[in-house]
């Protein structure tokens, strides 16, 4: 089973790959002149920094959320471990008596 982080990364890679393939297919299959295609490419290039920033923000938010989730699980595991150790110590004392 994939973790949430792996799912997010797979989604982002798929998004970028799909966008790239769609852009290339559009440029190759549309009946436009070279000048029109260059205009489209220039507009797309101008939008890339904003798109990159959006993707970066999304990844940072997902990382923070994942980190919080991992820390919560870690604390829960530590608490269960402490309870188990205490029970083991108590059982050992009872056995010695």
pTM flag (> 0.85): no
Report residue 91's pLDDT band, with 50, 70 and 90 as the boundaries: confident
Percent composition of the chain: helix, strand, coil (DSSP 3-state, to 5): 90, 0, 10
- The residue range of the domain holding 80 is 4-96
CA distance 16 to 11: 9
User: What is the total count of domains within the chain?
Assistant: 1
Model pLDDT for residues 40-80, shown as the tens digit of each residue: 778 877 887 888 888 778 878 777 777 777 788 888 888 88
Q: Give the pLDDT score at 32.
A: 76
Model pLDDT for residues 17-46, shown as the tens digit of each residue: 888 888 778 777 778 787 887 887 788 778
pLDDT at 82 over 70: yes
pLDDT at 97 over 70: no
Between vectors from CA 54 to CA 45 and to CA 4, what angle results, nearest 5°? 130
């Amino acid at each position: 089973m994939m973790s949430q982080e792996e799912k997010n990364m797979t989604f982002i890679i798929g998004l970028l790959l799909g966008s790239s393939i769609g852009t290339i297919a559009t440029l190759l299959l549309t009946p436009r002149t070279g000048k029109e295609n260059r205009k489209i490419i220039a507009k797309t290039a101008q939008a890339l920094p904003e798109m990159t920033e959006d993707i970066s923000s999304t990844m940072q938010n997902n990382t923070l959320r994942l980190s919080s989730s991992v820390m919560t699980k870690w604390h829960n595991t530590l608490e269960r471990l402490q309870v188990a150790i205490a029970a083991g110590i108590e059982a050992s004392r009872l056995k010695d008596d």
